[in-house]
Amino acid sequence: MQLTDILKDDCVKVPLDATDKQAAIYELIDLLAERGCVTNTEALKQAVWHRETTRTTGIGHGLAIPHGKSDCCDHLVMAIGKPAKPIDFQSIDGKPVNVIILLVSPADQTGPHIQALAHISRMMTNDDFRAAIRQADSGDAVYQLIAEHDNSAANT
CATH code (residue 97): 3.40.930.10
pLDDT score, position 156:
60
Whether the predicted pLDDT of 47 surpasses 70: yes
User: Is the pTM higher than 0.85?
Assistant: yes
Number of compact structural domains in the chain: 1
Segment 63-75 shows an average pLDDT of: 92
Scored b (16 or more CB within 10 A) or e, 80-90 reads bbbbeeebebe
| Residue (of 144, 114, 140, 145) closest to 14 by Cα position | 140
- The pLDDT of residue 95 is 96
Domain coverage including residue 85: 4-151
4 secondary structure, DSSP code:
G
In a domain, 156, yes or no: no
Q: Do residues 106 and 73 touch, judged by C-beta distance below 8 A?
A: yes
pLDDT of residue 89 exceeding 70, the answer is yes
Between CA 108 and CA 147 the distance in angstroms is: 27
pLDDT digits over 98-126, tens only?
Answer: 999 999 999 887 788 888 888 898 899 88
Q: Which residues 6+ apart lie within 8 Å of 120 measured at CB?
A: 3, 63, 65, 101, 103
On whether residue 112 sits in a domain, the answer given is yes
